Amino acid sequence: DDRIEHECQCQRSVTMSLQQISITPGPILPFKLSDIGEGIMEVTVKEWYVKEGDKVSQFDSICEVQSDKASVTITSRYDGVIKKLYYEVDATALVGTPLVDIETESGPEVAHEEDVVETPAMSHDEHTHQEIKGHKTQATPAVRRLAMENNIKLSEVVGTGRDGRILKEDILNFLSKQTGAILPLTPFHEIQPPLPTASAPSSVVKPKAKPPPSVPLPAISRPVFSGMDSTEPLKGFHKAMVKTMTAALKIPHFGYCDEVNLTRLVQLRKELKGLSDARGVKLSYMPFFIKAASLGLLRFPILNASVDEAVQNITYKASHNIGLAMDTSQGLLVPNVKNVQMLSVFEIAVELNRMQTLGATGQLGTADLTGGTFTLSNIGSIGGTYAKPVILPPEVAIGALGKIQVLPRFNSRDEVVKAHIMNVSWSADHRIIDGATMARFSNLWRDYLENPASMVLDLK
* DSSP string computed for 333-391: E--EETTGGG--HHHHHHHHHHHHHHHHTT---HHHHS---EEEE-GGGTS-S------
Q: Is 320 a catalytic residue?
A: no
Torsion angle, CA of 442/443/444/445, rounded to 10 degrees?
50
**Catalytic, out of 35, 115, 308, 434:** 434
Evaluate whether 39 touches 48 at the Cβ level (below 8 Å).
no
Evaluate whether 29 touches 102 at the Cβ level (below 8 Å).
yes
**Catalytic, out of 79, 430, 447, 458:** 430
Residues sharing a CB contact under 8 Å with residue 232, sequence separation 6 or more, in sequence order: none
Q: What are phi and psi of 401, to 5 degrees?
A: -105, 125
**Residues 19, 17: Cα–Cα separation, whole Å:** 5
How many Cβ atoms sit within 10 Å of the Cβ of residue 297? 24
List, in sequence order, every residue forming a beta bridge with 64; answer none if it has no partner: 47, 73
**Residues 448, 165: Cα–Cα separation, whole Å:** 46
User: 185: burial class by Cβ within 10 Å (0-12, 13-18, 19+)?
Assistant: exposed
Evaluate whether 136 touches 357 at the Cβ level (below 8 Å).
no
Q: What is the sign, positive or negative, of the torsion defined by CA atoms of 402, 406, 412, 416?
A: negative
Q: Is 434 a catalytic residue?
A: yes
**Residues 272, 345: Cα–Cα separation, whole Å:** 11
Q: Sort strands 61-66 and 42-48 into parallel, antiparallel or unpaired.
A: antiparallel
**Residues 77, 292: Cα–Cα separation, whole Å:** 47
Among 288, 294, 261, 260, residue whose Cα is nearest residue 276: 288
Q: Sort strands 98-105 and 25-32 into parallel, antiparallel or unpaired.
A: antiparallel
Q: Which bin fits 227, alpha (ψ -120 to 50), beta or left (φ > 0)?
A: beta
Evaluate whether 55 touches 81 at the Cβ level (below 8 Å).
yes
Name the residues annotated as catalytic. 430, 434
